[in-house]
Amino acid sequence: MTVLDSLGIFHHSMFFFNPHIFVILWVLCVMQVDGTIIMENGLLKATIDQTGRLMSLLLLQANRETISEGYLGNQFALFDDVPLYWDAWDVMDHHLQTRKPAVEVIEPAKVVRSGGLQGSVSFSLRISGKSTIKQEILLDACCPYIKFNTQVNWEESHKFLKVEFPVQVRSPNASYEIQFGHLQRPTHRNTSWDWAHFEVWGHKWADLSEHGFGVALLNDSKYGYAIHENIMTLSLLRAPKAPDANADMGSHNFTYALMPHTGLFQDASVIQYAYNLNFLLHVFHGVIAEPWSAFSVNCPAVILETIKQAESRENALLIRLYESHGSSVTMTLSTSLPMQEACIPVSKTSSGITLTFKPFQIRSLNYTVIHLIANRL
């Protein structure tokens, strides 16, 4: 059996079983005598207590512990959330003084899948008299992050649910993804300006790194982070009552993940792994002649973000790329489609189109092809 470590966007490939040509480290998931659960995949080793909290997350290659000594990761906390003016829009800093950990266990952690390509642990907690959390913690073979699939039955009023990870990293600044790039915000509160960043908006990931080691917090649908000193927090749910008294009530499903890494987050492919978490690989049964790629880029700093039908003509595609690391690079966009025309001056070689990017630059191509992708597939 082949195990796919990476597959470019707009690719398809074949998978086949042959146990003699590929060896991987299987996932092991075992409950200990004391009730703690060990999950390991050769890259990470996680220790989980009966309430679903991370007692330890070890990056095996570097022999580096992720969770701060004496603290627990994956800690849910509930806050009172009563803004002064605009219920659904404002978050006030005084809510931080009302933190209440969610520790009431409905169902203690148990092993669901004991290993192989994936190991998993499930548990459930009571947030309050009305709301509950059910979570499955997953560790996949060859995967550098541990994933938390979460279901929340949310029936609250003026409450704010978050999850916290105290990590063994200290840095004056943290990085947060925004559309087509990332920005940095302070992790301290030395000035009133710093204090005003108690909640930071971001997209698919946030990262806290020091020299040689860092931790990324990935997610698939949340947009609020708070990283104060060494505590990484992801905002999960609010319960405003105006202008809609039923806003956000009911069942919610979302996923987040914790990814320790060596070096800079750019070199550790945090950005690519965050995309992988948000855009899952789809597997179909069928027969194809050979592996095929519509488009690919040869530079990890450049993200092929968008490909869509152009409005200007039927046989044209709009392709949008951006530089994600904050660096100046030259890259080649390769394609299996027969190119007829590109509307900006580019250098075309036998291997593809060569483009240069400045830090965080966005470039769009109006790409005219002889046959559309639909005709090829």
Burial classification of residue 44, based on how many CB atoms lie within 10 Å of its CB (0-12 exposed, 13-18 middle, 19 or more buried):
buried
Mean pLDDT value of segment 105-119: 96
CATH number corresponding to 11-278: 2.70.98.30
The predicted-structure confidence for 308-360, as pLDDT tens digits, reads as follows: 988 877 788 889 999 999 999 999 998 887 766 655 656 666 667 889 999 99
According to the model, what pLDDT value does residue 43 have? Answer: 97
Q: Helix (H, G, I), strand (E, B), or coil: what is residue 193?
A: helix
Q: pLDDT tens for residues 57-109?
A: 999 999 999 999 999 999 999 999 999 999 999 999 999 999 999 999 999 99
- In the predicted structure, residue 117 carries a pLDDT above the cut 90: yes
pLDDT at 12: 52
Contacts of 237 (CB under 8 A, 6+ apart): 152, 154, 156, 160, 161, 248, 252
Q: What pLDDT is stored for residue 374 in this prediction?
A: 40
Amino acid at 86: W
The ranges assigned to domains in the chain are: 11-278, 294-376
Mean pLDDT value across residues 144-151:
99
| pTM tops 0.75, yes or no | yes
CA distance 333 to 347: 10
What does the pLDDT read at residue 55?
Answer: 99
Confidence of residue 288 (pLDDT cuts 50, 70, 90): low
**Model confidence pLDDT, tens digit, residues 155-182:** 999 999 999 999 999 999 999 999 999 9
